[in-house]
């Protein structure tokens, strides 16, 4: 299954209302519809109508990024890039569906932005810390599992399903 990052500009995307299913049985038709839309390279936005949905907290935080202005952290950073926010939504949906398909635990990310307007998703689990940055057209990560920058910190790309799942498995493993 290939869940590609969406490359089309936000304003040209067909607006398909889609709620990510929360149970396996009720969601098979929805998943099929979702995959069909992806094959046709159509954007499928998650609409958080369910407050208890695992994606809802992160979604609210992503929406809140639109309200941040330049210098939002007091250190002269630019406002988050709207295209990066849209890309981050698609990326997070993909991650959620991929982890759900694997039966893996979901951990809501912390949501912020970096000094170039990219969205930053951050997780901390024990000694492990993972930050994934989502730009308008790319995604990359930095992860750490100890104090040494040389031997206990790495970075790389986080664009594909395989890359996302590898990061998630690393984060969850004891």
Partner 1 sequence: MPDDAEVREDSVGNEETLYRSIWLRKECFFLDEEGVLRVSAEAFADRNKQPSVFRKHLCDEPPYSNPPRLSPDDAVVSLIAGKIREASPIQHQSGKNPVVSHVIDIKPDTSGGQHRSHAVVYADPDFPNSNAFAKLKLRLAQLVEDWAIQPEADFIEQLKIMAGLNHPAR
Decide the pairing of beta strands 110-113 and 139-144: unpaired
Our finding on whether 61 is near partner 1 (CB under 8 A) is yes
Could you tell me the smallest distance in angstroms from the CB atom of residue 14 to partner 1?
27
Q: Kindly report the number of other CB atoms within 10 A of residue 7's CB atom.
A: 11
By C-beta, is 91 or 133 nearer to partner 1? Answer: 133
**Of the candidates 22, 36, 41, 169, which one interacts with partner 1 according to CB under 8 A?**
22
DSSP 85: H
Our finding on whether 84 is near partner 1 (CB under 8 A) is no
Are 78 and 116 in contact, with CB atoms under 8 Å apart?
yes
Compute the distance between CA of residue 172 and CA of residue 95 in angstroms, rounded to an integer. Answer: 14
Residues 133-152 vs partner 1: string with x where CB under 8 A? x------x-x-x--x-xx--
Are 86 and 10 in contact, with CB atoms under 8 Å apart?
yes
Are 127 and 145 in contact, with CB atoms under 8 Å apart?
yes
Q: Which two tokens stand for residue 151?
A: 């031997």
DSSP 18: B
Could you tell me the smallest distance in angstroms from the CB atom of residue 41 to partner 1?
26
Our finding on whether 63 is near partner 1 (CB under 8 A) is no
Could you tell me the smallest distance in angstroms from the CB atom of residue 29 to partner 1?
18
Compute the distance between CA of residue 132 and CA of residue 140 in angstroms, rounded to an integer. Answer: 6
By C-beta, is 6 or 131 nearer to partner 1? Answer: 131
By C-beta, is 40 or 52 nearer to partner 1? Answer: 52
**Of the candidates 31, 153, 165, 166, which one interacts with partner 1 according to CB under 8 A?**
153
Are 140 and 157 in contact, with CB atoms under 8 Å apart?
yes
Q: Which residues bind partner 1 (CB under 8 A)?
A: 22-23, 54, 56-57, 60-61, 64-65, 68, 72-78, 96, 99-100, 104-108, 110-116, 118, 120, 122, 124-125, 129, 131, 133, 140, 142, 144, 147, 149-150, 153, 155
């Amino acid at each position: 299954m290939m869940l590609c990052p969406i490359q089309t500009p936000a304003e040209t995307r067909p607006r398909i209302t889609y709620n990510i299913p929360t149970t396996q049985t009720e969601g098979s038709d929805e998943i099929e519809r979702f995959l069909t839309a992806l094959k046709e390279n159509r954007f499928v936005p998650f609409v958080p109508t369910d407050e208890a949905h695992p994606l809802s907290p992160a979604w609210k935080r992503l929406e809140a990024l639109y309200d941040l202005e330049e210098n939002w952290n007091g250190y002269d950073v630019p406002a988050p890039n709207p295209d990066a926010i849209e890309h981050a939504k698609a990326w997070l949906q993909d991650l959620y569906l991929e982890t759900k398909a694997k039966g893996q635990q979901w951990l809501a990310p912390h949501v912020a932005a970096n000094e170039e307007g990219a969205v930053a998703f951050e997780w901390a689990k024990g000694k492990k810390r993972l930050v994934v940055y989502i730009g308008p057209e790319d995604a990359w990560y930095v992860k750490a599992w100890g104090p040494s920058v040389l031997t206990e910190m790495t970075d790389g790309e986080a664009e594909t399903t395989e890359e996302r799942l590898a990061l998630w498995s690393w984060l969850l493993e004891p």
